[in-house]
A and B are shown apart, each in its own frame.
Chain A
Amino acid sequence: MSLTNDIIKEKLIEKFGDQLTNFEEPYGMLTFEAPKEMNLKVMQFLFDDETLRFQFLTDLTAVHYPNQKGRELAVVYHLHNLVDNIRLRLKVFTDINKPDIFTATKLYSSANWMERETYDFYGINFVGHPNLKRILNVDEMDYFPMRKEYPLEDQTRIDKDDEMFGRGGTFGFGTERNKTGETMAEEDKGNVGDKIV
């Protein structure tokens, strides 16, 4: 039990130089970023190296950052060295218009379904995956629901009749309709505050 975050970082920098960036240690877990073409090289090195031995893929998922132009999607790998009991987090960023990332299934069999799940929700195209199709959603879906452009409904909205959910009804919120028959937004009524009837 002598492997520490510093040693891992040193070995990685020795091997890959300044291609790996953003070294951090949030809550004690070593986190860094690799260019997306290099994810397999880095993982292979982490897997094979005699002192590193990160041979267990704990978790694989993605995150969507719509504001980061050119690197909207992040694929996050959690790797675990079971011998020295140390974990690390590897991130790979990709453009949302061309979300191609090499698959890790050759290295870790567990990546198979986790990558399918990530594809299902974020549309990341894992190049070389043996069976890349939707897993939790139906095949006919043509969008990727976990992306931020599909937000859940705002729970504070009042422009719909939702008496059954504890709002509206007796208070008159969301029950008034305009001439075309649609429910009116609260701010369009002009009676916010004092004279709700």
Chain B
Amino acid sequence: MSDQLTAHHVKLPDGSIEKQTTTLNLGPTHPATHGVFQNIIEVDGERIVSAEQTVGYIHRAFEKIAERRPLYQITPLTDRLNYCSSPINNMGWHLTCEKLLKVKTPKRVDYLRVLIMELARVADHLICNSIVGVDAGALSVFLYVMQYRELIYEIYEEVCGSRLTTNIGRIGGFERNFTNTAFTKLEKFLDEYPKVLKEFENLLTRNRVFMDRTIGAGPISAERALNYGFTGPNLRAAGVDYDVRVHSPYSSYEDFTFDIPVGKTGDTYDRFLVRNLEMWESMKIITQAYQKIQEFKGAEAEVYHADIPEYYLPDKKDVYTKMEALIYHFKIIMGETEIPPGEVYHSVEGANGELGFYLISDGGRAPYRLHFRRPCFIYYQAFSEMTKGSMLSDAILTMSSLNLIAGEMDA
């Protein structure tokens, strides 16, 4: 009876059930996939024969919206790209504007920016790595570290008043100075976090089950990774020590000493290790930045933005009391300050790779064209090549270790 059924309905090859492949839709709402990505996977047993991935349609047309908006109103759009580390996107955008407007920022601003960007990087890597743990079945790690991301979010909150989509930057610096409470919280973070990170590593790095699950899963060679346009931790895991912070320093990164962790095989385990080591390096940078900031004395210690009234949004208090500030505020918000025509590409080392901004200005109130180079979008196309021939469960881990953020992919 069963022979009849299979022969009739499935059309197996003669005498064999091994050659039958199944098409699986992994996502868009499958609990093991992140965001709204769909993976159409053809499996032979549990081995992947071929995979095709789609991005999912939460497209919000940021680039189109940006064509109608003055520079400042684009900041909230960049927040929502990689929302795990929105300060980096903010800073990247404002650095691009500063490059276009030829604005030079004071040293203290640069160091504050470095500080906040590295905090964001730690927060992002923490989430990514603990999610790799979740996808390998280790939920406790994720729940444990979540409360320590809070340490970072509290600092954001102290600096700008919000936690996730921070809107933290301004052209030329910050909206307000870092308060003493912010620095106290930073000290708390610097004091507590290394212990947590050590414990986090103890739980996973030499964990036998975790190693078995991740070593050799979803590898990519250095050559292929470069050809696929990989950057950031995913490229470094494959053995290429390319880091925008070192190779094209921005915001005074050249004043800091830190190492670039590099992996060998480019598999999931290496990506995990590289991110872990990068958190340690970020801690180094944060400590240095904090020391450098403390060296500023007197009036210099109060500097938190460049002196450029025509581009820097004035303090709200001044807007209500001073005519000058009111005029500048109005002109900036209505997009009537002059933006020079020109085209500029600027990139920063986002938490998961080179985040680039390509901005063309024709001298109008809004950019003529703005393009975001989003690292996630570029990684994800390699997914089918990385998972071909591997097990289905490895594909899940590969996907989470690439650190795909839906908001960034669909910009």
Please list the residues of chain A having a beta carbon within 8 angstroms of any beta carbon in chain B.
26-27, 29, 31, 55-59, 61, 63-64, 76, 78, 82, 85, 87, 89, 108-110, 112-114, 117, 121, 135-138, 145-146, 151-152, 154-155
Residues A146 and B356 in contact, CB atoms below 8 Å apart: no
Contact A63/B226 with A109-B381, A136-B57, A152-B65 known, Cβ cut-off 8 Å: no
Say yes or no: is B316 at the interface (Cβ < 8 Å to chain A). Answer: no
Chain B 349-371, CB-CB to A under 8 Å as 1, else 0, gives: 00000101010100000001101
Residues B373 and A59 in contact, CB atoms below 8 Å apart: yes
Q: Which residue of A lies closest to B248 (CB)?
A: A85
Residues A109 and B224 in contact, CB atoms below 8 Å apart: yes
Contact A58/B57 with A27-B344, A152-B65 known, Cβ cut-off 8 Å: no
Say yes or no: is B273 at the interface (Cβ < 8 Å to chain A). Answer: no
Hey, which chain A residues are within 8 Å of B65, CB to CB?
152
Residues B377 and A113 in contact, CB atoms below 8 Å apart: yes
Contact A82/B242 with A59-B373, A136-B57, A152-B64 known, Cβ cut-off 8 Å: yes
Say yes or no: is B342 at the interface (Cβ < 8 Å to chain A). Answer: yes
Hey, which chain B residues are within 8 Å of A109, CB to CB?
224, 227-229, 381-382
Q: Which residue of A lies closest to B65 (CB)?
A: A152
Q: For chain B residues 147-175, which have a beta carbon within 8 Å of chain A?
A: none
Residues A108 and B343 in contact, CB atoms below 8 Å apart: no
Q: How many of B's residues come within 8 Å of A, CB to CB? A: 40
Which one of A59, A121, A135, A146 contacts B358 once the chains associate, using CB atoms below 8 Å? A59
By CB atoms of chain A within 10 A, which of B224, B240, B343 has the most? B343
Hey, which chain B residues are within 8 Å of A152, CB to CB?
64-65, 67-68
Q: For chain B residues 299-350, which have a beta carbon within 8 Å of chain A?
A: 342-345, 347
Residues A78 and B356 in contact, CB atoms below 8 Å apart: yes
A86 to chain B, nearest CB (A): 10
Residues A137 and B57 in contact, CB atoms below 8 Å apart: yes
Residues A113 and B57 in contact, CB atoms below 8 Å apart: no
Hey, which chain A residues are within 8 Å of B99, CB to CB?
27
B362 to chain A, nearest CB (A): 10
The docked-state distance in angstroms from the alpha carbon of A136 to that of B63 is 13
Q: Which residue of A lies closest to B381 (CB)?
A: A113
Residues B371 and A26 in contact, CB atoms below 8 Å apart: no
Say yes or no: is B9 at the interface (Cβ < 8 Å to chain A). Answer: no
Chain B 215-251, CB-CB to A under 8 Å as 1, else 0, gives: 0000000001011110000000000101000011000
Hey, which chain A residues are within 8 Å of B247, CB to CB?
82, 85
Q: Which residue of A lies closest to B52 (CB)?
A: A131
Which one of A55, A110, A136 contacts B378 once the chains associate, using CB atoms below 8 Å? A110
Residues A87 and B345 in contact, CB atoms below 8 Å apart: yes
Which one of A55, A56, A59 contacts B371 once the chains associate, using CB atoms below 8 Å? A59
Say yes or no: is B410 at the interface (Cβ < 8 Å to chain A). Answer: yes
Say yes or no: is B55 at the interface (Cβ < 8 Å to chain A). Answer: yes
Residues A29 and B345 in contact, CB atoms below 8 Å apart: yes
The docked-state distance in angstroms from the alpha carbon of A161 to that of B128 is 45
A-B contact pairs, 12 of them (CB 8 A): A27-B99, A27-B342, A56-B229, A58-B347, A61-B358, A63-B368, A82-B240, A108-B229, A109-B227, A109-B228, A113-B380, A137-B59
